[in-house]
Structure 1
């Protein structure tokens, strides 16, 4: 099973092993921490990261857009890693294949492009948060006054699973709790935070491999 459904304050989301959630009601593909431009940023600073990282992430996003028949792609922060660079230009050219798709960004701490650049890329930008029906989207968890279920990213959540003979594995995950869902980082070029939510009560993890998703009780 490569996906699972959860109920978020009456709204049904499908969580996918491909690091996105899908909201069928609005045909909306929801991701966080895509960090487009990160590999080019590292190369510019002398760390040789292959450009194939971006290519693979965009190819996966294209496949998801087509398989879910999405009308909207919403990125919950850190869509871009830093300033405008060659990777962002690659994204711009890639995006031209989807003139019918609405791209929305709720800004995160790494999103530093100018308003003019976002407009040039055809991306609708929300500075602090976005309310859609019963769901409130923001990058980091600052939802004390949000009217509805809160969906965030930012921490790149993961789980640490230890088996027999000291064998262990770290896997990305979605983190579900009362009124809150944390999305995994979409980019394959990110680390995992396996500490922030591990000791919190009332938390449910939906962790996954490339092919299967598993949920804790």
Structure 2
């Protein structure tokens, strides 16, 4: 689904990423690379193939949109270095896009490691009337695009059935991206009157309120 904000066009993708058409920029939040390896290290029964899925999905996005820039809106890695960093290095070397990391609260890996891969690290990024951050920051001056919350939405049916879906959460001055990574969990939100929920299904993004 494509939405328009302040004369700019944003494609909401079923992966949880957003393609900013005007800037030829791919926006991705909360990948939490390394989290699966961290869980496995401490005995959680998480399949090894789940690690490869994050990188496979990232590669599919880049191949599809061919962005000039990729901006990760924080929490690219879950914690300290582990074996997934080597996979990340391989992935970075496979793409030609400029990569920017807007640092999140989980991004504790030394900036020197990112600099060696020519990845810029910033506390925030302002482009025109848009302010890209990790944590939500609502102001009257800019439109905020962010992550951190891992937004989700519960769709209730007539027979007590319930679907729990990731979503893009849009309010008048903000767009919150869902978590991109596997096994990241959701925070289920209740929209206010002027908010919009774009729920992510297997095959499409749907406006549900």
Q: Which TM-score tier does this pair reach, normalised by the shorter chain?
A: over 0.9
Q: Report the alpha carbon displacement of residue 199 of structure 1 after superposing the two structures with TM.
A: 4.5
CA distance 1:58–1:133, change in 2 (3 Å): same
**Structure 1 CA distance for aligned equivalents of residues 104 and 198 of structure 2:** 23
Match of 1:88 in 2: 85
1:178 matched to 2:176: no
TM-score scaled by length of structure 1: 0.91
| Structural mapping, 1:105-144, within 5 Å | 105-127=101-123, 129-144=124-139
Q: Which runs of 5+ in 2 are unaligned?
A: none
Return the TM-score normalized by structure 2.
0.94
SS of the residue corresponding to residue 186 of structure 1 reads coil
| C-alpha contact 1:105 1:125 (8 A) present in aligned 2 | yes
Q: Does 1:103 align with 2:99?
A: yes
Superposed, 1:1-217 pairs within 5 Å as 4-98=1-95, 100-127=96-123, 129-144=124-139, 147-195=141-189, 198-217=190-209
Secondary structure (helix, strand or coil) at the match of 2:87 reads helix
Q: Distance in 1 between matches of 2:118 and 2:17?
A: 21
CA deviation vs aligned residue, 1:21-57 (integer Å, no higher than 9, x gap): 0011221110100101111112223324223222111
Partner SS, residue 43 of structure 2:
coil
| RMSD after superposition | 1.5
Q: Secondary structure at the match of 2:159?
A: helix
Structure 1 unaligned spans of 5+: none
d(CA) in 2 for partners of 1:94, 1:207:
28
- Count of residues in Structure 1 that have an aligned counterpart in Structure 2: 209
